[in-house]
């Protein structure tokens, strides 16, 4: 096995005939590993986000065993390690509050331990971006292995997407169309297997994006969680990690501006989650790639929807897999990709692509005959969102994408919950529902509150969609005419904080505009009257640091001190060794 120029990183721990070398080898042998097993071999860390409170990642122990086999088969030595994990459904107040914490955990674990490469095992929504952010900053060779989509749930003969259909059933219960007994049965049926949500929600979008970025082996994203082929690709990822260690192919070599363009193009081609916008901005920030919201708008203008998958279409990710998976999607949009971009295979996108397009064009269409035209996503700006906001046009009611109506403002989620059932609520179908104090600082953590519920009295009249505006995010499985990620947020002094009931709001999503009819003097008056101290802030611990240091949504909600590549030699991956003299 040829070692990289300069030797293996792990040799700094294990090769020295001195006290530190003794201590490190002794620690390994205390774990039962002989020198033959690890010395001189690439050490591959398996960064496992398995947790019993993260149901989507519950199969990762078996997956890690498969990665381990691959590492050993390729001549490396695997060492599995845990980090904090983020379970979308159980973790409160929102996993997004802790994405940066997990990213820090991943980064520091990679940097602090003797890894020559890492395999990142992520699945549930925030685990993948957190691992990518951390690995990008550590810049030790890395490859991602996502957990795969769960088996589809079936309820009364209908195949369900976990989130997409759930929103409909919740409205059915509220409107009296579904009994609570039936709803209980649905609850039992909704999650039939391990794996991430099986439609193109945030987890599947992030898995797709990982392929688009070139950070995993081609074809891995859509392999179902419970399919034996996922274990096989896990072995292949483990083996490839050994190659990455020897070739010294690092995230900074793969995560280029071209790779981000490819990832955004894929996200748009599959009708992916708006959450991915925030994550991509954060990952790009880590590697110093200048990515802005405008790039999403530009690429959206040329990228149609070519995959017929929920929530924008009919199928689940499993059908996308059987139609050829993400490589077939990439083949469809090949002319929109930077095909010369390098990937973790050591080859370019072009070299990785399959020779022929998808066989089943009812699931993956050719670029010439897409399921929906371009501009499935729009970035809107104006005096209500000076730094931008986003709207998923493909999930909206087309007639509402251009709309003028009076604001109905909810101060925060508590206010919304207290009033949206009120039969006397002063609201019509033309109203624009506004939720403030739901952004990164305000909530805090920018939860997925952006799909504001339709007020009950309108729901009973048959209203199914309205224009909704917030500084929150929205689940990748949700739909509706929802303007999200308004930046700056209300808690940071953004214009949402000054809005009042009855203010006339104009949305023109296709033109990229979001404005409210207020004069300069009205803005000034309201600014003078605004009491910003009224927004509560966490006083201690991680949450207090979070609200102090988190950036706005248009910059990915990363911490300001984690953005960019450090020029400080003390931050280099191997600087952990400088000045180290021993462990006793």
**Site residues, ligand FES (CB under 6 A):** 56, 88-89, 124-125, 196-197, 201, 203
Considering the complex, what minimum distance in angstroms separates the CB of residue 58 from ligand FES? 10
Among 528, 531, 483, CA closest to 505: 483
Considering the complex, what minimum distance in angstroms separates the CB of residue 88 from ligand FES? 4
Q: Are 484 and 277 in contact, with CB atoms under 8 Å apart?
A: no
CA angle 178, 183, 189 (to 5 degrees): 135
Q: Are 511 and 578 in contact, with CB atoms under 8 Å apart?
A: no
What are the counts of helices (DSSP H) followed by strands (DSSP E) for the chain? 21, 14
Length of the chain: 584
Closer residue to ligand FES (CB): 8 or 221: 221
User: How far is 123 from 196, CA to CA, in rounded Å?
Assistant: 6
Closer residue to ligand FES (CB): 227 or 465: 227
Residue 551 token pair: 């950036």
Q: Are 262 and 213 in contact, with CB atoms under 8 Å apart?
A: yes
Q: Are 212 and 269 in contact, with CB atoms under 8 Å apart?
A: no
Closer residue to ligand FES (CB): 87 or 453: 87
Considering the complex, what minimum distance in angstroms separates the CB of residue 484 from ligand FES? 18
User: How far is 575 from 564, CA to CA, in rounded Å?
Assistant: 18
Among 273, 241, 244, 228, CA closest to 124: 273
Considering the complex, what minimum distance in angstroms separates the CB of residue 312 from ligand FES? 17
Considering the complex, what minimum distance in angstroms separates the CB of residue 148 from ligand FES? 11
Torsion sign across C-alpha atoms 136, 137, 139, 140: negative
CA atoms within 13 A on the CB side of 171: 22
Closer residue to ligand FES (CB): 88 or 235: 88
Considering the complex, what minimum distance in angstroms separates the CB of residue 95 from ligand FES? 9
The single residue listed with the structure tokens 């391990």 is: 194
DSSP 24: H
H helix or E strand, kind and range, residue 470: strand 467-470
Closer residue to ligand FES (CB): 90 or 511: 90
Closer residue to ligand FES (CB): 138 or 200: 200
Closer residue to ligand FES (CB): 89 or 292: 89
User: How far is 9 from 6, CA to CA, in rounded Å?
Assistant: 8
Closer residue to ligand FES (CB): 216 or 352: 216
Closer residue to ligand FES (CB): 50 or 77: 50
Q: Are 480 and 392 in contact, with CB atoms under 8 Å apart?
A: no
DSSP 439: S
Considering the complex, what minimum distance in angstroms separates the CB of residue 369 from ligand FES? 31
H helix or E strand, kind and range, residue 30: helix 19-30
E strands in 290-445: 377-382, 385-392, 402-410, 432-435
Considering the complex, what minimum distance in angstroms separates the CB of residue 197 from ligand FES? 3
Considering the complex, what minimum distance in angstroms separates the CB of residue 203 from ligand FES? 3
Distances (CA, A) of 42 to 74, 115, 402: 10, 8, 57
User: How far is 66 from 96, CA to CA, in rounded Å?
Assistant: 29
CA atoms within 13 A on the CB side of 158: 10
Closer residue to ligand FES (CB): 89 or 397: 89
User: How far is 217 from 532, CA to CA, in rounded Å?
Assistant: 49
Considering the complex, what minimum distance in angstroms separates the CB of residue 288 from ligand FES? 29
In degrees and rounded to multiples of 5, residue 387 shows phi and psi of -100, 10
Closer residue to ligand FES (CB): 83 or 375: 83
Closer residue to ligand FES (CB): 122 or 218: 122
Considering the complex, what minimum distance in angstroms separates the CB of residue 133 from ligand FES? 18
Distance from the Cα of residue 315 to its chain's centroid: 21
Closer residue to ligand FES (CB): 203 or 432: 203
Considering the complex, what minimum distance in angstroms separates the CB of residue 277 from ligand FES? 17
Considering the complex, what minimum distance in angstroms separates the CB of residue 327 from ligand FES? 22
User: How far is 347 from 254, CA to CA, in rounded Å?
Assistant: 10
Q: Are 493 and 532 in contact, with CB atoms under 8 Å apart?
A: yes
H helix or E strand, kind and range, residue 142: strand 142-146
* Distant-in-sequence, close-in-space partners of 141: CB < 8 Å, separation ≥ 6: 116, 117, 118, 241, 244, 245, 247, 248, 249, 250, 251
Considering the complex, what minimum distance in angstroms separates the CB of residue 87 from ligand FES? 7
Closer residue to ligand FES (CB): 43 or 56: 56
Distance from the Cα of residue 463 to its chain's centroid: 31
């Amino acid at each position: 096995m040829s070692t990289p120029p300069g030797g293996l990183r792990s040799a700094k721990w294990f090769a020295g005939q001195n006290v530190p070398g003794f201590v490190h080898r002794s620690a390994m042998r205390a774990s039962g590993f002989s020198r033959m097993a690890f010395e001189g071999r690439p050490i591959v860390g398996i960064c496992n986000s398995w947790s019993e409170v993260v149901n989507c990642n519950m199969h990762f122990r078996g997956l890690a065993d498969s990665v381990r086999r691959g590492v050993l088969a390729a001549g490396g030595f695997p060492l599995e390690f845990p980090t904090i994990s983020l379970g979308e459904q159980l973790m409160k107040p929102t996993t997004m509050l802790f994405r940066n914490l997990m990213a820090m955990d991943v980064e520091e674990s990679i940097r602090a331990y003797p890894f020559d490469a890492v395999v990142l095992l992520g699945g549930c929504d925030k685990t993948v971006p957190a691992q990518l952010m951390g690995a990008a900053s550590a810049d030790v060779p890395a490859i991602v292995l996502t957990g795969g989509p769960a088996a589809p749930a079936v309820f009364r003969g209908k195949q369900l997407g976990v989130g997409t259909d759930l929103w409909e059933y919740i409205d059915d219960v509220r409107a009296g169309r579904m009994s609570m007994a039936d709803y209980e049965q649905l609850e039992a049926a909704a999650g039939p297997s391990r794996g991430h949500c099986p439609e193109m929600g945030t987890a599947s979008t992030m898995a797709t994006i990982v392929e688009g970025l070139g950070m995993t082996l081609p074809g891995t994203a859509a392999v179902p969680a419970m399919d034996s082929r996922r274990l096989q690709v896990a072995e292949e990822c483990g083996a490839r990690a050994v190659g990455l260690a020897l070739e010294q192919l690092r995230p900074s070599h793969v995560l280029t501006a071209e790779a981000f363009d490819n990832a955004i193009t894929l996200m748009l081609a599959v009708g992916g989650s708006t959450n991915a916008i925030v994550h991509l901005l954060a990952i790009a920030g880590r590697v110093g790639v200048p990515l802005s919201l405008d790039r999403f708008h530009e690429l959206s203008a040329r990228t149609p929807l070519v995959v017929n998958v929920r929530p924008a279409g009919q199928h689940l990710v499993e059908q996308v897999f059987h139609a050829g998976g993400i490589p077939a999607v990439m083949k469809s949009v090949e002319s929109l990709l930077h095909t010369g971009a390098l990937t973790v295979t050591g080859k370019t996108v072009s070299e990785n692509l399959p020779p022929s397009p998808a066989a089943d064009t009812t699931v993956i269409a050719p670029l010439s005959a897409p399921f929906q035209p371009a501009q499935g996503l729009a970035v809107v700006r104006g005096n209500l969102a000076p730094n931008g906001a986003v709207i998923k046009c493909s999930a909206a009611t087309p007639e509402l994408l251009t709309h003028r109506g009076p604001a109905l403002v909810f101060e925060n989620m508590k206010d919304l919950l207290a009033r949206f059932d009120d039969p006397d609520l002063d609201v019509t179908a033309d109203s624009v529902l506004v939720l403030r104090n739901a952004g990164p600082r305000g909530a805090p953590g920018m939860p997925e509150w952006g799909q504001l519920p339709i007020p009950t009295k309108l729901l009973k009249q048959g209203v199914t969609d309205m224009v909704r505006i917030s500084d929150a995010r929205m689940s990748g499985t949700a739909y509706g005419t929802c303007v999200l990620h308004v930046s700056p947020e209300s808690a940071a002094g953004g214009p949402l904080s000054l809005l009042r009931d009855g203010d006339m709001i104009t949305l023109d999503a296709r033109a990229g505009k979001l404005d409210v009819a207020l004069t300069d003097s009205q803005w000034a008056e309201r600014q003078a009257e605004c009491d910003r101290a009224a927004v509560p802030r966490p006083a201690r611990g991680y949450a207090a640091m979070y609200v102090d240091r988190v950036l706005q949504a248009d910059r990915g909600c990363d911490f300001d001190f984690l953005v960019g590549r450090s020029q400080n030699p003390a931050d280099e991956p191997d600087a952990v060794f400088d000045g180290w003299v021993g462990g006793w």
